[in-house]
A and B are shown apart, each in its own frame.
Chain A
Amino acid sequence: MMVMMALRLALRSLLRNRMRSALTALGVIIGVAALLVTVVLGEGTRKMVAAQIASMGSAILMIVPGASAQGGFMGGTGSGRPLQRDDVEAILQARSVRYAVPVDRTVAQVVSSNLNWQTPIIGTTTDYLALRDWPVARGRFFNAAENDTAAKVCVLGRTVAQNIFGESDPVGQQLRVKQMPCEVIGLLAAKGQSAMGSDQDDVLIMPSLTLRTRVLNQNRQYVSTIMVSATSEDDLAAAESEVVSILRQRHKLTDDQENDFTVRNLAELVQTQQKIVETQTGMLRNVAAVSLLVGGIGIMNIMLVSVTERTREIGIRLAIGAREKDILLQFLVEAVVLSVMGGLLGIGLGMLAATLFAKLGGGMPVDFSAFWMVLGFGVSVAIGVLFGFYPARKAARLDPIDALRYE
């Protein structure tokens, strides 16, 4: 009842000074908008990264050869002692390791009867799809026998299939990878973008030996990369140390020698990326906090001005019989209404800005859950109460005699 009255009074008073009210609310508008953008984009990024980690397959390690050092000449990553096909078998024996596959990569022109397409090519073994948690949409993946015999078969990603065969079913069709003719035996399910933004469906996968011996003409003993998945995400660290010790032992490294290979944790890479985004949203969050602070101080300032301007009015109200809490409520509600009006506009502006940013940022998911609205609203109420209290208390504690005499 009293609150409703105070609300009416506050609206009337604020509407009397429209320009002043609008400018005062600006700080809260910007603050709440920035806050909303921060949380919405932060949440969007978090979801996107989580989706990417999920699409990559969780708990994956990449092992690449280390750098060679010959007389002070550092050869760069991969120039050291190459990894061997036997290493894959050995790693597979580790307790915390579920899958281990060799991965060789190249980029080559893929040609069918009348279309061609340059695409990344992956040579690997049967467990690759299980490791990547990547189902086959049509047809089948190659089996161990086809790998061992370096059979001329391949499996296409969605993008390659579309570019080479259009809408027609690629399974059973023939194509050429460089000079090697090859039968398409399967079509992979669509996987979408990778953490780095590349199209994971733009790929052609064939048996490791086929790629090494028939396309690249390289030694069949070696592999350029080994991809390992742990039995669970929690076992990733254990898997990493097991892999390291197995490879050190196989490479006959003594305790004082450094690893001649590198183990990379893909999840960590993505997390690094996430951290960058978090730093950016963190900066925005600081902007929001500072803006809210400044907005709050602005409200406090204008409320103090308002209390001084209306000293006589306060005196009249007190003389007539208003209690301290009546005056306190009146001015507190006015500050809160000012802040909340700013907050509501800020929520609108924030939603607009977040949508825009997400569009520019490449289709990041934005979802405006009611929670963020409530948060924005709550923050603006809190700002109003926090910064409106001091002026309101000042008004409530005025001496009625002095206030009445005030000119």
Chain B
Amino acid sequence: MTSRPWVAWGVCRLNFFVVEPGASHKVTLPLPHMTDAVENSQPLLRLSKITKVYTRGDLAVPALRGIDLFIEQGEFVAVMGPSGSGKSTLMNLIGCLDRPTSGAYFLEGQDVAQLSRDELAGVRLRTLGFVFQGFNLLSRTTALENVELPLLYAGMKSVERAERAKEALRRVGLDARAGHTPNQLSGGQQQRVAIARALVTRPKLLLADEPTGNLDSRTSIEVMALLQELNAEGLTVLLVTHEPDIASYAGRLLLVKDGRLRTDEKRAAMSAKQALSEWRDEETLQ
């Protein structure tokens, strides 16, 4: 992780004060005072004129029609958009699971737009963490082994691997369930194992694709609280969701429509922790 978590955290807090709630403006360039605040002015990721065209036979279907985007370290960004808007495609490109048809994608200053499959795998392994809607844990495999998986591909020795995986499980509060397999865990627990798996490589950017899609409201807020906590520690989070409630926990909202970025606004994020305590109050009242 970043050597100066407080810097990233600072940026995040700064946004809350600088940007008026509800105010919307394109952030194609870093604001001058933000540049001052961040010693390292290089954004975590920068997309420039990204397009993606799928060809089905003779038919060319454009999914992304030119996306420009900066994301600074320590941001918590929600991506929303109707289905077919291209938000999944955008997510896949940012997640280095796919390559753009044209345009440049700089991740930590490195142009990853046209890397080979294996090079992209290396970027995913070192820099990115994934959390999916369907958890995507290996079945019949313990939580600990699931969390260890990325480290295995990083070629880490087994002792160190177990150490790191346990640490990650502890971070998401599941160290007691290390030996359980996914079908012995609740949905919320499974998603937390998945988050631990994403964290274990100490990524720069956590990509969460509808992480609460399969969870009930209460558990959803718990997962969001965990993500907010991690973000507060300096982890950059990019969240795809179609639920405005969930998006409201992010400090920045991107709206994708017809392959273009329609809205890019910074705003005050709701606190999931607070929402949780309110929830508890309501429960005790009932």
Contact = CB atoms under 8 A, between A and B. Distances in A.
Interface string B135-156: 0111010000000011011110
Given A316-B136, A316-B137, A320-B125, 5 more contacts: A319-B136, A320-B130, A321-B121, A323-B118, A401-B92
B138 A321 contact: no
A395 to B, nearest CB: 14
B153 A320 contact: yes
Given A16-B140, A404-B136, A319 B130 contact: yes
Contacts of A316: 136-138, 149
A343 to B, nearest CB: 27
Nearest to A322: B153
Residue among B121, B149, B152, B155 with max Cβ neighbours from chain A (10 Å): B121
B121 A322 contact: yes
The 4 A-B residue pairs whose C-beta atoms are closest, nearest first, are A321-B125, A321-B124, A323-B118, A323-B121
B97 A401 contact: yes
B16 interface: no
A245 to B, nearest CB: 78
A312 B136 contact: yes
Nearest to B157: A1
A227 B230 CA distance: 100
B97 A321 contact: no
A321 B124 CA distance: 5
B122 A323 contact: yes
A318 B121 contact: yes
A316 B138 CA distance: 8
Interface in B56-93: 92
Interface of B: 92, 95, 97-98, 117-118, 121-122, 124-126, 130, 132, 136-138, 140, 149-150, 152-155, 197, 201
A19 interface: no
Contacts of B137: 316
Interface string A278-320: 0000000000000000000000000000000000110111111
A305 B138 CA distance: 18
A382 to B, nearest CB: 27
A243 to B, nearest CB: 76
Residue among A16, A312, A322 with max Cβ neighbours from chain B (10 Å): A322
Contacts of B155: 1-2
A331 to B, nearest CB: 15
A5 B151 CA distance: 12
Given A316-B136, A316-B138, A321 B98 contact: no
Contacts of B152: 5
Contacts of B136: 312, 315-316, 319, 404
A321 B118 contact: no
Interface in A324-344: 324-326
Nearest to B95: A319
A376 interface: no
A320 B135 CA distance: 13
A326 B130 CA distance: 19
Contacts of A318: 121
A271 B130 CA distance: 72
Nearest to B150: A320
A3 to B, nearest CB: 12
A321 B140 contact: no
Contacts of A317: 149, 153
A202 B130 CA distance: 87
B162 to A, nearest CB: 14
Interface string A1-19: 1100100000000001000
Contacts of B117: 323-324
